[in-house]
C-alpha cells in the first residue's frame, strides 16, 4: 500500500526533481547508456554461468573420453 501523500513527501519529491534537473543532459544520457550496458552484461553473465554448468556436467560424465574431444580442443587453439 502506498504511503500517504504528505506535505513533507511532496517537498522531498520536489527536491529530488530539482536535483535531477541540475544533472547535465550528457550525464543523464551516459547514465542511461551505462544502465543499459549493465543489463546487457548481466544477461551475458547469466548465459555464461549456464554454459559453465553445462560444461561441468559434461566433464562429470567423461566428455574428455568421447570421440571428437581432441579435435574440439584443437579448434580452440
Domain chopping of the chain, boundaries? 7-76
**Cα 15 to Cα 11: distance, rounded to the nearest angstrom:** 6
Single pTM value for the model: 0.56
Mean pLDDT, all residues of the chain: 88
pLDDT in tens, 32-65: 899 999 999 999 999 999 999 999 999 999 988 8
CB burial of 31-46 (b: ≥16 within 10 Å; e: otherwise) equals eeeeeeeeeeeeeeee
pLDDT of residue 38: 95
Asked if pLDDT for residue 4 goes beyond 80, the answer is no
Amino acid at each position: 500500500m502506498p504511503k500517504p501523500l504528505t506535505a513533507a513527501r511532496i517537498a522531498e519529491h520536489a527536491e529530488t526533481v530539482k536535483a535531477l534537473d541540475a544533472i547535465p543532459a550528457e550525464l543523464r544520457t551516459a547514465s542511461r547508456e551505462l544502465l543499459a550496458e549493465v543489463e546487457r552484461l548481466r544477461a551475458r553473465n547469466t548465459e555464461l554461468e549456464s554454459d559453465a554448468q553445462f560444461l561441468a556436467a559434461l566433464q562429470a560424465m567423461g566428455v574428455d573420453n568421447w570421440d571428437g574431444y581432441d579435435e574440439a580442443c584443437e579448434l580452440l587453439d
